[in-house]
Amino acid sequence: MLLGFLLLIVPAFGDGIPREEYQARRALLRKTLDGVLVLFAKADDDLRDYIQEPNFLYLTGWRDPGAALIMTANEEILFLPLRNRTSENFYGRTIDPNDKDVFEKTGFKAVLARSAIETTFLRLIENAPNIYTLRADPQAEKLKALAPLHEEGNATVLIAKLREFKSPAELALMQKAADVTVAAHLAAWHAMKAGKSEYEIAAVMTNTYLSAGCERSAYAPIVGSGPNSVILHYSANHRRMDAGEVVVMDVAAECGDYAMDVTRTVPVNGKFSARQREIYEIVLGAQKAAIAAVKPGMKAGRGAGTLQQIAFDYINTHGKDSHGEPLGKYFTHGLSHHVGLDVHDPSEQGVELKPGMVITIEPGIYIPEENLGVRIEDTVLVTENGCKLLSGSLPREVEEIERLVGK
C-alpha cells in the first residue's frame, strides 16, 4: 500500500507554480511599492546544491545564480548574466538577456544584462524616496552606497505580507510535501527497532521522500533517542537507540521548493512506559487544544489569549515533574511558526491568523533528568472557520502508534 501511494505522487517539480502567478505576485507588490525594490539571486555555492534566495524565487521563479531584480510601482526589470562558454561547459545552455524568446522563458517584458544594473538603479531612484533590499546582502550594500541619502527599507517585510498567504498552487506543493513526509514517518515506524542507530532511521526517512522526487530535506533531520530526545535541534543522529526509550523524529521533506514540518515521538520498542505515555498524552492534549483554537483572528505569538498561551496552560495544569512541580517550564520553545518556501517562513510580528496562512502547531515537554522529551508537530492551513491539518493522516494517538511501531 505504501509503494502504490508513493508512485502516485511523483510530480513535475519546479513547474508547480505557473508563470502568470509570479507575474501576479509582482503586480500585487508594485501596487503599494513606494520606492525601488532591489533583490539579488543567491551567490553561487560552486559544488554545493544551489538553492535560490526564497524572496527572489517567490517574485521571479528564477532558479539560477547571477540574476537580479529591480521593481518600482511602474517597472519590473530582470537582470541576467550574459551567456558564458566556460560556465555553459559546466551547467549547460543558459538564457541570455538578448535571446529572442526571453519573455517566454522569464515572464519579464524587460530583461537587461546584469552589467546594466547600476545605471538602471540610478535612473529609478531619481523619483523614489525609499530603497528596499534584503538585510545583510553584500551586493545590495554596494548598490545602496550609490544612494547614501535615500531611506532604507526591509524588503523581507514587504514580501512577507504576500508570502504569508498561500495560493492554491503553493498549497498543492505543500500537500505533496506533507504526503511524502507522512510516508517517511510511517516508514520510520515500520523500521524502528532497539539496537538500531538514529541515522538508520533518518536514512529511511530521507530515502522515502528523495525516492518520491522531492529535492531535499526541509531542514536537517532530527532523530533524537533517550537523552537526545530533550535536545531541541539535535541532528547528529549517531546514537544507538535502546528499548525503553522514546525517539523524537522531527523530519520533513522539501518538494518543489516548499517545506513541510512534522514531528512525532514514538517508543523505540513499540510500547510507551506508563510515565512516557502520561507525558505524551499531555503534549497531545496541548496540541489538540491549540489546534481546536486555530481560526481567523487568533494570534499565534506569545501573550494572553494566544495559541502559545493555550498550549502552555494545558501543559502547566496537567501532570507534575519528579519534584511535584508543574510541567509548563519544560515547554521551552515557541508553539508555532509560518511554513512555506522556508521552513521558518517570514511573517509580520504578532499578525492575526487569516485564511490561507500555513503554520505549525508543535508543543513539547522536555525533562532532562528523566531523559524524556516529547514533541508533536503538525503543519496546518488556516481556513475560514478553523484549520486543516496538512499532515493529519499521520497518526498521533498512543494506540495507533503502538500498533504501527516496529511492525
Residues near Mn ion, by CB under 5 A: 261, 360
Whose Cβ is closer to Mn ion: residue 70's or residue 218's? Answer: 218
Cβ pair 380, 359 in contact under 8 A: yes
Please name the residue that has the C-alpha cell 491568523.
Answer: 353
Distance of alpha carbon 239 from alpha carbon 302, whole angstroms: 34
Min dist. Cβ of residue 345 to Mn ion (A)? 11
* Shortest Å, Cβ 315 to Mn ion: 17
76 Cβ neighbours under 8 A, 6+ residues apart: 26, 30, 69, 70, 108, 109, 110
At 21, list the grid cell. 502567478
Rounded CA-CA distance 204/189 in Å is 10
Nearer to Mn ion, 68 or 222 (CB): 222
Residue nearest to Mn ion (CB): 261
Nearest of 187, 245, 198 to residue 220 by alpha carbon: 198
Least Å distance, CB 241 to Mn ion, is 22
Burial of 210 (0-12, 13-18, 19+ CB in 10 A): middle
| Closer of 120 and 306 to Mn ion (Cβ) | 306
Least Å distance, CB 129 to Mn ion, is 38
List all residues 6 or more positions away from 246 whose beta carbon is below 8 Å from its beta carbon. Answer: 225, 226, 229, 265, 266, 267, 268, 272, 276, 280, 372, 373, 374
In the complex with Mn ion, the residue whose CB is nearer, 67 or 160, is 160
Nearer to Mn ion, 62 or 209 (CB): 209
Nearest to Mn ion of 162, 232 (CB atom) = 232
Return phi, psi of residue 259, to 5°: -90, 155
Strand pairing report for 110-113 and 76-80:
parallel
CB of 214 to Mn ion, least distance (A): 18
**Please, what is the minimum distance in Å from the beta carbon of residue 261 to Mn ion?**
4
Q: How far is the CB of 359 from Mn ion (least distance, A)?
A: 9
Choice between 176 and 375, CB closer to Mn ion: 375
